[in-house]
A and B are shown apart, each in its own frame.
Chain A
């Protein structure tokens, strides 16, 4: 399994760069992952979404979809795309250090 280094700590990730062990994530890592994803600075609005992703993962074992995020995170789908232009559910999951959301069929 590949590993990478954030905040001077080695962490295991999958082929697409998602954390496989969310317990290894720390808040300082988020800025760095965000930069890699093309987001220069994380605002308070970003952090609302990132914390929500982690809470949902802890409760349900998978990150939410964009639709669910838009319904319950307090950030509308439109704004989610402004915050995370390349696909909010995937990008926010990556920055929040949780595995790729499973989504539905």
Chain B
């Protein structure tokens, strides 16, 4: 009898994992089931471009099951609960699935209602998020109407997916207002709970320098406590204020709701606390988590899900064969940071090595941590790559799961 692998979530991580597994195993060896609640797969990196009129919302969405290998058994339903002892998943509508291996890939959820006032007066009028499609579309209209004033980009608190996206938004906003000829009438502020523009010192300096060059004020250690939309004020827990006419807020993130309802599956925020190297849930050898759903000290990004996938599929094979899990994820992340004016910069890092200058993937390649037009083209090409190479679960030639130090320069802090 074949084994049943159930993947919860058919977003970036779940789709890539399912397709990789189907390529590795015959259907009679392993049946792969994917569960998701809807049929619309959204290319999330495209959300960054919607507010500026650089991407059309309807172009970012494709049929979810069409991204999955034919051999995958796709179930459209809301996941209600996992029973780890019984090895079953209950779906809304009364369906119950039992599994030999469970992969949690239900991503991160936005929790705007958890911040006082955020969804109160002004929400959708002068307070927005671009982290979902309705928000990004509403913000596009608001930006088009905007003739000047104070714009603040704010990260409520960590963790968040794609930690560079808010920075990219600030850079693009600078470019957008300049190209409309009204930059001198706009005050741009970037507020973050971190003590710099990024978590790690070398990149924090480079990205902080760019904010400075573009005349964007940086407010650090600002953890969002309350939004007063009526009077246009963001308040931090330590009682500082940032005034705005237009606020772009990245809300709190948490894991999927059912994770919290399933005893033993999630941590305090609803993420699954798997081993950072094997991606296996301690004490539950048949349970793994991948992508944003995993509670790891790594970025929540599609590129991370891709690099994790290689390790995950190997380790699932080892588990099914009763062998030790010998593949180890190193925290590898790789992000293009769009900086406006048809430029971007690339960062490449892992658990141990912070983003460093140099070149990628080797000494001859794209510059790291430095703006270039080539990196901007890379960012744009990424969309095609996403649908045609990453989602189908193909490896990228020359870019492996393990981060390479080749081409990187260590610099003193």
Contacts and interface: CB of A to CB of B under 8 A. Distances in A.
B269 A68 contact: yes
A1 interface: no
A105 B199 contact: yes
Interface string A69-92: 001100001101100011100000
Contacts, number: 43
A86 B223 CA distance: 12
A78 B223 CA distance: 11
B192 interface: no
B47 to A, nearest CB: 20
B298 A71 contact: no
B299 interface: yes
Contact of B157 (A66, A78, A87, A105): A66
Contact of A104 (B158, B239, B252): B158
Contacts of A87: 221, 238
Interface residues of A, number: 18
A67 interface: yes
B268 A68 contact: yes
User: Interface residues of B: mostly helix, strand, loop or mixed?
Assistant: loop
B225 interface: yes
A81 B238 contact: yes
B196 interface: no
A105 to B, nearest CB: 5
A10 interface: no
B237 interface: yes
B237 A104 contact: no
Nearest to A85: B238
Given A65-B158, A67-B252, A102 B297 contact: yes
B159 interface: yes
A28 interface: no
Nearest to B237: A81
B112 interface: no
Contacts of A81: 225, 237-239
A76 B250 CA distance: 21
Contact of A67 (B157, B238, B299, B333): B157
Contact of A71 (B163, B225, B268, B297): B268
A103 interface: yes
Given A68-B269, A78-B237, 8 more contacts: A65-B158, A67-B269, A77-B237, A104-B158, A104-B159, A104-B297, A105-B163, A105-B199
Interface of B: 157-159, 163, 199, 221, 223, 225, 237-239, 252, 267-269, 297-299, 333
Interface of A: 64-68, 71-72, 77-78, 80-81, 85-87, 102-105
14 contacts: A66-B237, A67-B157, A67-B158, A72-B268, A78-B237, A85-B238, A102-B297, A103-B199, A104-B158, A104-B297, A105-B159, A105-B163, A105-B297, A105-B299
